Structure 1
Amino acid sequence: MGEGAAERLRQLFEGHRLTPTQRRIAHCMVRRADEVPFLSSVELAERAGVSQPSVTRFAVALGFDGYPALRRHLREVTPSNGPAEHVERTAYQQAVDAEIANLRHLAGLLADPAPVRDAGALLAASRPLPVLGLRAASAQARGFAYFAAKVHPDVRLLDEGGSLLADRIDRAARAGATALLCFALPRHPRETVEALEYARHAGLRVVTVADSAFAPVAAASDLLLPAPVGTGLAFDTACAPMLLGRVLLEAMCDALPDAQARLEDFDAGAAARGLFVE
């Protein structure tokens, strides 16, 4: 599959609020970027595992009169001598391929390190540092908070919703917090958006790692760092958001003058306690 053709398809889809069925079609098209300009709507529907009318509605959602107009556009922007010969890959392999493409996309975004450096400085300066992640994003928030606590003096994990969430944001703000880090993944809980709006009202700067720059949390964020998720399996895969979280940790460590000393203290204490099996 030509990486250039796949990237042009991603740019075509960016900015559109797609249904789960339409996302399935979009990811099928990215995986078969060289083949798609030569497929009929019926053939594309079969490969994506959806109905033919769903393909038509998908084309209209992208702003075309119908699928023939979308296919003409793809032939114009994706020159090719014809569908490439390829070996059919399993659905599991395709899911891995899609995640690899997501990581390449993230690598391209990180060619400009300024946004991540700015975010790292904001997080390092916040004492305490609240880290928010609800539902699907709770694993990313918990992982970040676990490692951040090794170098930051006061990290507060917010991974449960409910009426106490606003109270915990208030307590962090009163204790001196100046920023909040949020991980936001589909499907986006309304409560996450409301919590970010509340945090900003409390005076906190909001840094958000989300699946897209057009995610519902974008309007409630001061600095949004996008990292795409994979949608080829029954449940989304989030390798790129997890890796971006680790990159943010690195940037935060760079902004903390005593980060290395804290890590060395932890390692010394862990060795004295026999904490890890060598």
Structure 2
Amino acid sequence: MAGAAARLHKLFEGHRLTPTQRRIAHCMVRRADDAPFLSSVELAELAGVSQPSVTRFAVALGFDGYPALRRHLREAPGDGGAEADADATANAYQQAALAEIENLRLLAAQLADPAPVAEAARVLAASRPLPVLGLRAASAQARGFAYFAAKVHPDVRLLDEGGTMLADRIDAAARAGAAALLCFALPRHPREVLDALAQARALGLRVVMVADSAFAPVARPEDLLLPAAVGTGLVFDTACAPMLLGRVLLEAMCDELPQAQARLEEFDARAAERGLFLP
């Protein structure tokens, strides 16, 4: 992630933004290099919102108005030093790897406060069953999480396919007693995810979301949102940080599940009996 985008993410962290404000923030991150020079009218047009919404967004961030926000962005220190020079000489593949390293650094800084992950883990560990949603690009993250979570949680239900059956499966999970739903939300965000989450919320499920940013278009203010940036330097996005955040969330869930260690030991014993893995 470029330094300008990283600074914007840091600026937006910790603020409870409305869906409209998250849309503005997401637009600014995508246009990070241009953001300090955009007028409020230009930013409103790019984000597809009204000009007063941009003003309210700046105030929500703690500024007197949009001019103060723009002045803050212009005065922010630029990138420099040997690391920036090294990045400039790297080839496209190296730059993609370096961008993912930066994403992981941002995630490490975010995890300095473990409270959001701990809260999400408590919510998910208590849900019986636990539906795990991830469609299209996010299906791999959901499947990986569900695979490992099933070793310590008694009832994990993977929702990695859309279509007419998705609504039935969410409804079935709620009827079976689910209290929460974990969603991996990555670009490009399928409309089906938005619809599925709306249904889950209407059924009373608490949504925990691992998303590519704090401004994911499928998120709502009441969700427990855990952001982890994706890499965009290659033809297809890379998702090292969301994958790691999913594993961190699993680690925290194990602390909330009293039988987690016993279940793992039981699985290992059965795997050994069956010769499941190579020695």
TM-score normalised by structure 1 residue count: 0.76
Is 1:196–1:221's contact at 8 Å kept on the other side of the alignment?
no
Aligned to 2:199: 198
Residues 125, 13 of structure 1: alpha-carbon distance in 2 compared, 3 angstrom cutoff? closer
Change (3 A) 1:74 1:198: closer
Structure with the greater alpha carbon radius of gyration: 1
1:78-89 matches, within 5 Å, as: 78=77, 85-86=85-86, 88-89=89-90
How far apart are the structure 1 equivalents of 2:125 and 2:93? 39
TM-superposition CA deviations, 1:16-63 (whole Å, max 9, x none): 3349xx84x74xx6xxxxxxx9xxxxxxxxxxxxxxxxxxx89x9599
Q: 1:80 to 1:274 in 2, by over 3 A?
A: closer
Structure 2 SS opposite 1:152: coil
The amino acid that maps onto 2:77 is T
Partner of 1:164 in structure 2?
A: 165
Aligned match of 1:267? 268
Aligned to 1:33: none
Aligned-residue CA RMSD (Å):
3.4
Partners of 1:13 and 1:94 in 2: CA distance = 25
* 1:207–1:221 Cα contact (<8 Å) kept: no
SS at match of 2:89: coil
Please state how far the C-alpha of 1:11 moved relative to its aligned partner.
4.5
Quick check: 1:180–1:206 contact (8 Å CA) kept in 2? yes
CA contact (8 A) 1:134 1:160 kept: yes
Q: Summarize deviations over 1:81-132 as a string: whole Å, max 9, x none.
A: 9997546100110001110100111111111111111111111111111000
The one-letter amino acid of 2:91's match is: T
Helix, strand or coil at the partner of 1:194: helix
Is 1:120 matched up with 2:114? Answer: no
Structure 2 runs not aligned, ≥5 long: 14-21, 37-41, 48-53, 55-69
Q: Which runs of 5+ in 1 are unaligned?
A: 30-36, 38-56, 64-70
Identical aligned residues as a percent = 72
| Displacement of 1:142 | 0.2
Q: Residue 207 of structure 1 aligns to which amino acid in structure 2?
A: V
The yes-or-no answer on 1:17 pairing with 2:38 is no
Superposition map of 1:6-85 within 5 A = 7-8=6-7, 10-11=9-10, 16-18=25-27, 23=30, 26=32, 61=46, 76-78=75-77, 85=85
**Size of the alignment, in residue pairs?**
242
| Residue aligned with 1:276, SS | coil
